[in-house]
Amino acid sequence: MKKKLTRREFLQLSAMAGAGAVLAACGPTPTATPAAPTAVPTKKPVKLTLWIADRRTINDMTTEVMKSEFQKANPHLTVEVNFIPEGDIPAKMATSFTANLMPNVSALDETQVPGLMKQGFLKPIPTEVFDVTKLMGKKAATFYKIAPGPAYYALPNGNMPCVMYVNLDLLTQLGYKLEQIPNKWDDFIKWAQSVTVWKGDEITQWGFTFTGTPWFWDSVGYQKGGWLFQNSKKSSLNDPIMVEAYQFSVDLMDKYKLDFRTAPTTAHDRVGQGKAVTGVNFGFAYGTFKTTYPKVNFATLPLPTFTGKPPYGRASDDLGFCITTQAKDQDTLDATYTLFQYMLSPAYQRRYVVLRGLQPSLISLNSEEQFTEKNVEWAGIAKICKPGNFRADGVWPAACTPLMHQDAWERIMNKKEPIKTVLDDHAAKIDKILADAGDLPLLNGKDGWKPEWEKEA
């Protein structure tokens, strides 16, 4: 009878055998995926379940790589991939936990992490499974190591910035080059006005469009020195700086006439369809833009700032793949760790971060040309996400998001309620959410932002 592999022996073998295994992430990155190695015949067959937040482009990619890479490299493992609407994951996970049917590994939205941690759904990530310091650097290694334990319960895929999309063909038709787009708001507004075309009460050609992006305004606030949170117990939503930032956004609409409230489609769609020269959206629009408008010649830029210099705004961490298995037997645990390693490996993350518009957390990927300013389509994302060029409050409860963005935008922009009144109201509601949530170790806010995070390469 063959000797049963110990957990450490199994992990060492799986790290070497897995396609693009994450434990090799700091080495040279191959330009092509290597052929699947010969399987170790003594491994026990295990069926795993993976949950992915339901996004078509990521669904298609994940389905393909599970068959073409992961399961070829690990033929003893079968992966059932379930695509769950993101907002449904917490409730579905609670039901699955009660029925002892939890997925082995699950993708979560960052705002879901605090609540699911408190319910005990997230399992600590063994240090031998993922060397956070080596693979992601000191910031991730210190910030994400939390109680109980302390341990890692979720790790970031990358930073997601608020970025400006540019239709290069339309820009050329108008007689401009990319480097001629002004990087100071005063100059940029004048330039955008000069290429905006109104027809009656509607715009037929936008110089800059932002209608439908209620998360845009807070990046203006960060540029001016504001934050969404003071700390894990106090909202900064109604800080005078943030009130000014919201007024600036309203002025772009009403004073400078750069957009109108009932503009159809989304801002990045207007850019993709050649109706707007520039438009703002978060990184999550990047993958949709690339797949919906594959023939469009485009670029990304940081938002203009009031000085022409950083910070450019917010770039929040995108969380993340978590271990959620309820299994106790070592074979299933080892198989779960193998799948988790793959989901955070360069092989998978190289695809995932493009579809999510994230500057990758893996150090090894950040030097690849497609994720640098040398790639004109990616340049804005890469530049914003350099240390010192952005701010990030951390991970807040999901219930805070509509109060900061969609609900506030509706009341201020569309119902034209006073900015201070709305932000005071919502700040008080957020403070109540924070108080009820208890300990929120991943919400740093202004008070928890560390100077060394501005310098880390």
pLDDT tens by residue, 297-332: 999 999 999 999 999 999 999 988 999 999 999 999
Q: Would you say residue 344 has pLDDT above 90?
A: yes
pLDDT band at residue 112 under the 50/70/90 scheme? confident
pLDDT band at residue 26 under the 50/70/90 scheme? very low
Q: Considering its fold, how many domains does the chain have in total?
A: 1
pLDDT band at residue 386 under the 50/70/90 scheme? very high
pLDDT band at residue 20 under the 50/70/90 scheme? very low
What was the pLDDT predicted at 38? 44
Asked whether 283 and 314 are in contact (CB, 8 A), the reply is no
Residue 277 to residue 195: CA distance in whole angstroms: 8
Residue 258 lies in a domain: no
Q: Would you say residue 150 has pLDDT above 80?
A: yes
Percentage of the chain beyond pLDDT 70 is 90
Q: What is the mean pLDDT of residues 146-158?
A: 91
Residue 82 lies in a domain: yes
**Regarding predicted confidence, which is higher, 430 or 441?**
430
- The tens digit of pLDDT for each residue in 233-272 reads 999 999 999 999 999 999 999 999 999 999 999 999 999 9
Q: Would you say residue 10 has pLDDT above 60?
A: no
Distances (CA, A) of 89 to 95, 109, 171, 363: 10, 9, 41, 29
What was the pLDDT predicted at 140? 93
Q: Would you say residue 42 has pLDDT above 70?
A: no
Closest alpha carbon to 53 in 106, 125, 95, 96: 106
What was the pLDDT predicted at 375? 97
CA dihedral 120, 126, 131, 132 (to 10 degrees): 10
Closest alpha carbon to 341 in 14, 74, 77, 48: 14
Residue 58 to residue 211: CA distance in whole angstroms: 26
Regarding pTM above 0.85, the answer is yes
299: which 2 tokens?
């670029």
Residue 405 lies in a domain: no
pLDDT band at residue 456 under the 50/70/90 scheme? low
Residue 213 lies in a domain: no
pLDDT band at residue 115 under the 50/70/90 scheme? confident
Residue 99 to residue 77: CA distance in whole angstroms: 23
- CATH number for the domain including 71? 3.40.190.10
Closest alpha carbon to 42 in 18, 9, 79: 9
What was the pLDDT predicted at 34? 44
Q: What is the mean pLDDT of residues 277-288?
A: 94
Full residue range of the structural domain in which residue 135 is found: 7-158+318-371
Lowest mean pLDDT among 13-17, 34-38, 202-206, 217-221: 13-17
Q: What is the mean pLDDT of residues 142-152?
A: 90
Residue 340 lies in a domain: yes
Residue 67 lies in a domain: yes
pLDDT band at residue 16 under the 50/70/90 scheme? very low
Q: Which residue has the tokens 């600036």?
A: 248
Distances (CA, A) of 189 to 195, 259, 305: 10, 12, 11
Report residue 403: phi and psi, to 5°.
-65, -35
Percentage of the chain beyond pLDDT 90 is 80
Contacts of 305 (CB under 8 A, 6+ apart): 183, 184, 185, 223, 311, 312
Distances (CA, A) of 116 to 192, 284, 432: 44, 23, 19
Residue 62 lies in a domain: yes
Residue 173: burial class (beta carbons within 10 Å; 0-12, 13-18, 19+)? exposed
Give the chain's mean pLDDT. Answer: 90
